[in-house]
Chains A and B, each alone.
Chain A
Amino acid sequence: MGSSSLIVLLLAGLAFSAGGIAVARLFVKGTRNPQKGQPYECGVPTEGSPWNQFNVGYYLYALIFLIFDVELIFLYPWAVVVKRVGMAALAEIIVFLFVLYMGFLYAHKKGALKWM
């Protein structure tokens, strides 16, 4: 099937979700009621907007993730050739992982991974 399968799957996904929602819209006769549009917070009236500050911890984890994710991308081409290159490639990746891990340990020491 080849690369055209990507477009086919993309369109199939769109058609599937659009079809489902369209069928539901055909059957349903909606009624309006001011209570219906309220955010569902277990019956308690909402206090303020949710779009404000939240825990910085999530952001720190995202930053550390970014470093390791880029590392992961570098590991893919390495993994394909490592068997042919041999021990030299292993030594190089040990240095690479060591440097990265030192950075991770530094972040850990600074308390970036502590929750609250």
Chain B
Amino acid sequence: MFSIEHITHLIDAWLYGNLPPTLALLIECLIVGLAAITLFAVLGLVLVLMERKVSAHMQIRLGPNRVGPGGMFQTVADTLKLAMKEGLTPDGADKFLFNLAPYLVIVVSMMILAPVAFAKGVQLWDLNIGVLYVTAISSLSVIGILMAGWASNNKYSLLGAMRSGAQIVSYELSAGMSLISIVVLTGSLRISDIIASQQNGWWLFKGHIPAVISFAIFIIAVTAETNRAPFDLAEAESELTAGFHTEYSGMKFALFFLAEYVNIFIVCAIAATLFLGGWMPLHIGNWAGFNHVMDYIPSSIWFVGKVFSLIFLIMWFRWTFPRLRIDQLLRLEWKYLLPISMLNLLLMTLIAINGWHF
């Protein structure tokens, strides 16, 4: 049977068998880099189309349906159009920071991919502090947003960036607490250990009510961290035109847009890894027959399926809840989510120490 793991192993074995090690490493780096770039491009195209299709069907419309079969190439056409547009830098802007910001945002979301396990055995770097690495790198993206908003010499941009900064740093706390509550259960920060510990069931089901609470808090927090509705105050189009990327045009705007969608993919991948078992098929305790049937579905399909279900959930939020005001948003985090997630962490610790989880 062909799986991604087999293909990567075959390429690896062939490279190191037939070529000198330095050359093999270089070629491997090149392949990985190209694969990461391709993943970015494909994710951008698929997610933007998915967003438009999902929102269209929620409003009983058809959505894009002219370019290609079922509107499949709409995003490609949009990207080509953006590539034809002039990338302006406003006169009063801080030119260096203004042009640096899109690079920073893209590089940060590219670097979070390192510990993500895409399928069984397909992971760039299984480092022993995987969860900490993800939280550390993902908190850098707020610097790119603040940089873009501040350098634009535009009041809307500055306000959008400030709101975004306050929002992202606030919700990072409860997202981190939810991640820690799973780390308490597994006793390891390594992504492969966390996935392996879900061999007999996902943590969402094994960890009783606290796991469900921390999953809900995590989903709310990452919706806020990726600036998605109902927490899209940073780019509230009715009050701030477009928030921190008002002044960006052409390809630089496209990069911000792409980074936003890739970030949604990444946070959903993290949620799927910690709470829903990553590439691990749905296993229930010791039902050997059931587990065996589930193993027939390839691990990459499990991973992609889980991630896209979560992305669909986040897109669903957008058409369900009205946008919050900035003080309501901060009150929700500091007065409700943070105390709840702290108490939840203590409860989870009690369960983990006494071995009450399944």
Contact = CB atoms under 8 A, between A and B. Distances in A.
Contacts of A79: 180, 183-184, 187
B110 interface: yes
Contact of A9 (B28, B86, B114, B153): B114
A80 B153 contact: no
Interface in B144-158: 150, 152-158
Contacts of B61: none
B349 A30 contact: no
Interface string B327-358: 10011001100110010011001101100000
B111 A6 contact: yes
A108 B207 CA distance: 32
B173 A69 contact: yes
Interface residues of B, number: 82
Contacts of B84: 24, 27-28
B12 to A, nearest CB: 9
Contact of B28 (A1, A40, A94): A1
A83 to B, nearest CB: 5
A34 B158 CA distance: 23
A9 B188 contact: no
A9 B91 CA distance: 33
Contacts of A23: 83, 251
A38 to B, nearest CB: 7
Contacts of A80: 183, 187-189
Interface in A1-50: 1-18, 20-21, 23-25, 27-28, 30, 36-42, 46, 49-50
B23 interface: no
B189 A76 contact: yes
Given A11-B33, A16-B40, A75-B180, A39 B110 contact: no
Interface stretch (B64-72, B124-132, B290-298): B124-132
Nearest to B159: A54
A99 interface: no
B352 A113 contact: no
B229 interface: no
Contacts of B189: 76, 80
6 residue pairs, one from A and one from B, having the closest CB atoms: A37-B91, A13-B110, A115-B327, A13-B107, A24-B251, A5-B124
Interface of B: 25, 28-29, 32-34, 36-37, 40, 82-88, 90-92, 102-103, 106-111, 113-114, 124-125, 127, 131-132, 150, 152-159, 162-163, 165-166, 169-170, 172-173, 176-177, 180, 183-184, 187-189, 241, 246-247, 250-252, 254-255, 326-327, 330-331, 334-335, 338-339, 342, 345-346, 349-350, 352-353
7 contacts: A8-B29, A24-B85, A30-B86, A39-B153, A50-B153, A69-B172, A82-B187
